[in-house]
Structure 1
Amino acid sequence: MPRLAANLTLLFNEHDFPDRYAAARAQGFRGVECLFPYAWSASDLAARLGDQGLTQVLFNLPAGDWESGERGIACLPGRDDEFRRGLETAVGYAKTLACKRLNCLAGVRPADLDPGRARDTLIANLDWAAAQLAREGIELVVEAINSRVDMPGFLLDTSASALAVMDAVGSDNLRLQYDIYHMQIMEGDILRTLACHLPRIGHIQFADNPGRHEPGTGELNYERIFEALDEMGYDGWVSAEYRPSTTTVASLKSLSRWLGAF
């Protein structure tokens, strides 16, 4: 059975963020992730994790000015110092939260930025970050995000583009974060792609498509996808990163079989 984690940024929004840890545990989750924990005290969040017996499985490196539309700064020339300071902050949180995996959002390429320069900047930042995190025993993952619906202009928008950058970095401490929702939009053929790239995948996220809601609301057969992941021998976390179509608890009915396995 896949080990399901809850993304606390998208799920359990009926509660204030610190209270979402208890809400997730009450529904059977043993792992949690979030986009960014930095607005809260790391020690307070660690206490919530400990109280609920939860594992923090992932969060993102600081990604620039999110409110103004930035979705990562790793591909932006001239932001190297900010990127490195962000990594230092993320490592501090990861140590306190006992989190062993951090995700780097490549960023949206400005229209006036040469694609090659953006890619070279990303490669240099990933190379540096992967080496720094290896010393801390923390894995770095990089994610492909669809550029058709959710993030127009996002630099890495297919598995192939992310893997090519990973090849250029050449680090054993850099793996792919595979988001099924995003890749269904961009390339489809989910089961074949997962099987092909599984040795290089460090983390998986899911939502149905269209709408980015819970399984059963769209076109993806998640019962078969989860079964296939078991058959492939994937033993990592699989995170629910969807927007509930009604309430979070109601949306979890589609996952009750797998949550019940805990």
Structure 2
Amino acid sequence: MPDNSPRVSRRTALGALAGAAGALATRQAAAMSAATGSSTAPTGRLKQSVCRWPYARTPLPTLCRRAKQIGLAAIDLLYADEWAVAQDAGLAVAMGYPSRREKFNETGFNDPVNHALLLKELETALPLAARAQLPNVIAMFGNRVAGIGDDAAIASCVAGLTKIAPLAAEHGVTICMELLNSKVDHPGYQGDRMAFGLAVMRGVNSPHVKLLYDIYHMQIMEGDVIRTIRDNIDWIGHFHTGGVPGRHEINASQELNYPAIAKAIADLNYQGYIAHEFAPTRADPFASLTEAFRLCSA
């Protein structure tokens, strides 16, 4: 009988073999990456981090190993005695706490009464952060105090931060002042709007004192996130993510368009970190973190 089957050219056959070999090599590389704790996932233009507290039930070494596998570059919001754990895992510490003090968010530079405490903390933490090669430490504006309106609070923040800015510059570490929402999560917090934060930044006018722009918090208070970031990127030293409402996953279950936000930030040639600070709802929290990493790989 005549052979009417379609003939496969040598080039086609070789191409198929090469494709199969490439796929096998990719699977082998992925398996090796998983075994060694490295990642072959594309990281995009942004350096991504993850905050410690949403994974508090996970031992820190495990969190670091899983973050490294996903492709993250750093861990956020670690205390000084935890920094080496992340660094030993091959991760940076993108944002450190200057102390383990209680009521950290509530006690800020808006009240002059707090300055001695806060300056002493930072005077100790900044040299430690520099030696450990941390780029940032976090500080707060603080809760409202009777008799201290916004203008007086801004002046107090400027006065206190101006005193510590030279030491931050000397050590090459940036103090990041976090903007929080006062509507849902932090009633009474005074630094709850971009205008307040910008007034302080302009008053201090130091490249080593910047804003921690928490996208979740500012969406609740103001919205207009991308325009705000574009107009004020020079005053922003760090970003946090979170889905609105609820501070959960940053996917289509919430109202913010994180791929567009990440692209807008990357297009500005931003060189700092964007850190994921949402509470996962999935049984496997690292599936949510992997998803967030991909959404922000602009």
TM range, normalised to the smaller chain? 0.7 to 0.9
Conserved 8 A contact 1:5-1:31: yes
Aligned to 1:26: 69
Q: Structure 2: which amino acid aligns with 1:175? A: K
Aligned to 1:257: 294
Conserved 8 A contact 2:130-2:172: no
SS at match of 2:53: coil
**Relative to 1, partners in 2 of residues 1:118 and 1:194: Cα closer, same or farther, differing over 3 Å?**
closer
Aligned to 1:121: 156
Q: TM-score, normalised by structure 2?
A: 0.76
Aligned to 1:194: 229
1:103 to 109, 130, 138: 138
Residue 55, structure 1, aligned to residue 92, structure 2: yes
In 2, distance between residues paired with 1:242 and 1:182? 11
Q: Structure 2: which amino acid aligns with 1:37? A: Y
Q: Deviations over 1:159-204 (max 9, x none)?
A: 1110011112222322222111111011111111111111221111
Conserved 8 A contact 1:72-1:104: no
Q: How does 1:208-219 map to 2 (within 5 A)?
A: 208-216=243-251, 217-219=253-255
Q: TM-score, normalised by structure 1?
A: 0.86
2:213 to 178, 187, 202: 178
Aligned to 1:224: 260
Q: Deviations over 1:18-59 (max 9, x none)?
A: 54322322332121111x515xx25xx31x233211111112
Q: How does 1:63-212 map to 2 (within 5 A)?
A: 64-66=101-103, 71-110=106-145, 112-115=146-149, 116-212=151-247
**Relative to 1, partners in 2 of residues 1:33 and 1:219: Cα closer, same or farther, differing over 3 Å?**
same
In 1, distance between residues paired with 2:273 and 2:233? 13
Alignment size in residue pairs: 251
Conserved 8 A contact 2:168-2:175: yes
Aligned to 2:50: 6
Task: Give structure 1 stretches of 5+ with no counterpart.
Answer: none
Q: Which has the larger Rg?
A: 2
**Relative to 1, partners in 2 of residues 1:77 and 1:210: Cα closer, same or farther, differing over 3 Å?**
same
Conserved 8 A contact 2:250-2:258: yes
In 1, distance between residues paired with 2:270 and 2:201? 20
SS at match of 1:203: strand
Conserved 8 A contact 1:210-1:218: yes
| Identity percentage of aligned residues | 29
Q: Greater relative contact order: 1 or 2 (C-alpha under 8 angstroms, separation 6 or more)? A: 1
CA deviation after TM superposition for structure 1 residue 213, in Å: 0.9
**Residue range with higher mean Cα deviation, 212-221 or 230-239:** 230-239
**Residue range with higher mean Cα deviation, 249-258 or 96-105:** 249-258
Aligned to 2:274: 238
In 1, distance between residues paired with 2:207 and 2:259? 32
**Relative to 1, partners in 2 of residues 1:170 and 1:51: Cα closer, same or farther, differing over 3 Å?**
closer
Task: Give structure 2 stretches of 5+ with no counterpart.
Answer: 1-43
In 2, distance between residues paired with 1:258 and 1:25? 17
Q: Structure 2: which amino acid aligns with 1:8? A: R
Q: Deviations over 1:54-108 (max 9, x none)?
A: 1111123348422xx8523322232222112211332244134310212211111
Aligned structure 1 segments of 4 or more residues deviating by more than 4 angstroms? 258-261
Q: Deviations over 1:236-256 (max 9, x none)?
A: 211101111234212124225
